[in-house]
Structure 1
Amino acid sequence: MYDPKHRQHILKNSLGVPYHVYLEQGRGLCIRMLSENKIWSRGYVLDKSAVDDFAAVLDKNDIIHFFYQTRDGKLMYGHGMHGQIEFRPVLESREPTPWPKYVSLMVIERTVILFYVLRYHDRYMLSMQTINDGKLSKPVVVDYIEGTSYAAVPDRDGKCHLFYPGSDRAVKHLYHRILNDDFSTFELTRKVYSTVDNIGFISAVLTEANKIHIAFEVSGDDFHEIMHMDLSAGGKPGTLYRSQTAPGFFGLIYNSGIILFFRVTDEDIYLRKSENGGTTWSDEEPYPFANNIVCFSYSSNHSRDKGIFAGEIPGNFTRGYQLAFINEEKSKPVSREMPTINNRADLSHDRMEREITLLKNLFRAMQKELTKLWITQKNLEKELAYLSRSYSELLERIELNAVYDTDKKPPSASADNISETAQTEDIFPENP
């Protein structure tokens, strides 16, 4: 069922290889890769102690970063740099049990920014830490927030934008803050919207023109309303939905010049579009999509997807995975008929282009195979570690048996023969 609190992550690298980061019951936090035949590999376990409170992003260098909570309430960070998955603790927990901390993260250049929500005296604190060149900062309280919803978005200039609801006595506000260039403190708080009603879920997207659009829910005793704002326009918010019925889950998606607003209720999806930067919107219409809808967070370094921004998007696992609203066939380059070649120079140039294309395809295939080998290597390393521990335990048992049998051996037997017999029986049992 679609629920942003239980989102899964689809991360596509610059070579077009998709990875799926998810939580598997009984195995923990896992990652797997999609083959060219649309078949998922077996999931590699990142941390069996992880719970369903995690986030993953792909940086510009195709390195995957993880941020998650464990069963004992600890917050952990991991990455795929240095050719292997490495983890480190971020924050210990006073309570040895997990409760939702609504973790998220982003990577700007060489700095990893981690956000999470803590409870303090029946209130919620939005908190932050950073990792710069491997150095973990101390926790910083950004602000007290109303509820647990917030949205963090990096823009194309390397700025981190943060949106969250707060209150000033009886008035509720939607705040906007920008992280300073040293990633240590925020600029002054800006009030984006104020109301006496409640402010709920927040969704934010970034356009190719480096403009941020947000959608947020405002609700009272007898109404539910979803507002939209273009922060660069400085205008008043517009209404995308208003009814006495709750809107369900919703979000914003940017796809190559078009802003999409969607709602999900049960297994039904409703869609509105804007092709002029949110100035006008189409009427809401049902969007046909298969069942078993889940919430994905989708990001891609592939050149075909550079115009897509989807912090949350409906999808399913048909033929690997399918994303609503995004038709990958349309995003492929349009094939054009090559002009007639009239001279040898053009022929040589055309042949060189074909050879370059073949080399690129070969490189991509090799990269995929290397990724498969890397995952296989990690599984083998786990098995070798297990065998090493088992072998050490066997040696200890053999030594203990040798000492015990030496004290009680019959006169005709030697300690060497007894030790050799015990080792053979232990290493090659009849029923392994």
Structure 2
Amino acid sequence: MSVGIDIVKIHRIEDILDKKRDSFLNKIFTTEEKQYIKEKKYSPQTIAGLFSAKESISKAIGTGIGKVSFKDIEISHDKFGKPIVIINEKVKSFGISKIDLTITHEIDYAVSFAKVNFKINDNIIEIPEELKGLLTKRNPESHKGDYGKVLIIGGSRGMTGSVTLSSKSAMRTGSGLVYTMVPEYLETIMSIKLTEEIVKIAKDNGKGYFIKKSLEEILNNTKDKDVLAIGPGMGTFEDNIYLLREIIKNINIPLVIDADGLNSLSTDIDILKNKKNSIVITPHLGEMARLLDKSIKEIENNRVYYAKHISNKYNIVTVLKGSNTIVSYKDEIYINNSGNPGMAKAGSGDVLTGIIISLIGQGLEPFNAAKLAVYIHGLAGDFARDKKGEHSMIASDIVDSIGDAINFLLTNKKFSSKLN
């Protein structure tokens, strides 16, 4: 552990704001921070506090501002105003596992205190307080109907792996009944791939992908379900856009949109304004860039800002995937700290979709389900890494490790990870 302290004279900030406000803010602060400063009416006290915080963190890391730039460190805030530190990959490369920050003000000065924890070979991971109690042990008198009926719509010719991973991860996370709906052409292969899950089909006229005529069967299959996911392996066929629009207009159950569902959504994101239900979207950086018509670099440099922006604009839960996945709903933000680079493999996002819908089906509110899901997903990835190694682990290893992650949550024991 290392600490850093910094003090800034507020009058110095006032002088800078008088002479070169915009250039100073653009040099020091990210888009999210500048928005926060604007909301605080460009208060010199607020700006001095944020400036001091970046300095104290760089001191605690041991570099000072130089090797680490001001914009490599972002200061966000939770709904209670508590500062939250977000660091990019360059800063994480110093082996940082956690940063605690305190900012205080008095008439003439802003003072910040940062405490930085570094990873060690036997890293001890504890459950974040806000996730404790979200998942509970099962009632001995319960039956499969108590744990949710989930429906996953996906798959196309040559793309059966994604929907298979989502289905298996939903079952492994604890869903009572998992229904997997695919184009009729895929019925035989999906019936071979899936054992515990129930395969449903929609007419596809032998094409191997969903068509407009699939809609009636899709909607009929949503009627007794608790949650729906759409997108894994669907492909980028034109009819998908029509199907997604009609599904959003007609269903009342929570909906998770992932993968190719997000590609369809990017053609007309305003269809979210017609929704009657809760919606969760799970984009990675590239998908988020397409949804908002921005560059990937712009999204990457301002991840919290854009996660909050899209959540607020459409009143949805946003899961912006990547290192330290961000979950946003309205003004609430959760930044995940589980997971590892070995999870950057095909199919990992499909596994996450299955975990999210399973938890929603088991009764969690979508925001809580998304927060808990990204933590379970990352922790399962950590268990898989310890078994297979970062280079060799694959998405199905994450599915197989979901039980380890859930047992860890339910027993509330510290987990000693073998690898950094």
Q: Quick one: higher RCO (CA 8 Å, sep 6+), 1 or 2? A: 2
Identify, as 1 or 2, the structure richer in strand.
1
TM-score between both structures, scaled by the size of structure 1: 0.28
Higher Rg? 1
TM-score between both structures, scaled by the size of structure 2: 0.29
Identify, as 1 or 2, the structure richer in helix.
2
